[in-house]
Structures are given as C-alpha cells and as structure tokens.
C-alpha cells in the first residue's frame, strides 16, 4: 500500500519537474503535447506498478519478463518525447 503512494508521489514529482524544465527553458508546449506527456508518465507508473505487483506476489521471473516487455515501450516513448516534444525551437 505504501509503495503505491510512493509511486503516485513520484509521478506528481516527475510532472512538476517537467513543467519547471519547460518554463525555465521557454519551450512552447501545445495542449496535445502535454496530453501525450501525461500519458507517457502514467504509462511509466503503470510499468513500475506491474513490476512491484509481481515482486509482491513472489514472481520475480514474471516481474523481469513483464518489466522488459512493458519497459521497452516506456523507454522508447520517453526518448521520442525528449527528442521531438521537449526541444527548443530555433
């Protein structure tokens, strides 16, 4: 139970850090880009929650397999966001 609260706090902190980063750099982010970013952060939280749930059930191999299967998508999503959304237009 406490780990879910910690994961939620990390999600809020990640969104706060992203907002501060964008505002300090003066990057213009459209509403749909914020929507994609929020979905990406929520998906990353889902990946962490899946891993934690498998570990709590005692299924370490399942945590590894599901963590890799869903984590690769989260990493690609994060790289694409950082490359195409959070760049300052020249």
Asked, for residue 59, whether it belongs to a domain, the answer is: yes
pLDDT band at 4 (very low <50, low <70, confident <90, very high): confident
How would residue 76 be classed by pLDDT, with cut points 50, 70 and 90?
very high
Residue 19 lies in a domain: yes
Residues in the chain: 90
CA 37 to chain centre: 8
- Burial class from Cβ neighbours inside 10 Å (0-12, 13-18, 19+) for residue 41 reads buried
What does pTM read for this prediction? Answer: 0.81
Q: Is the pLDDT of residue 51 over 70?
A: yes
Distance CA 21, CA 46 (A): 23
**Average pLDDT value over all residues in the chain:** 88
Q: Residue 51: give the domain boundaries.
A: 2-84
Residue 52 has pLDDT above 60, yes or no: yes
Residue 90 lies in a domain: no
24 within some domain: yes
Residue 31: inside a domain:
yes
């Amino acid at each position: 139970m406490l780990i879910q609260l910690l994961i939620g706090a990390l999600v809020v902190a990640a969104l706060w850090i992203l907002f501060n980063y964008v505002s300090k750099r003066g990057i213009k982010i459209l509403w749909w880009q914020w929507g994609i970013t929020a979905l990406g952060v929520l998906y990353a939280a889902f990946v962490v929650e899946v891993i934690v749930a498998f570990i709590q059930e005692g299924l370490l191999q399942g945590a590894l397999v599901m963590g890799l299967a869903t984590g690769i998508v989260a990493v690609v999503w994060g790289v694409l966001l950082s490359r195409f959304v959070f760049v300052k237009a020249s």
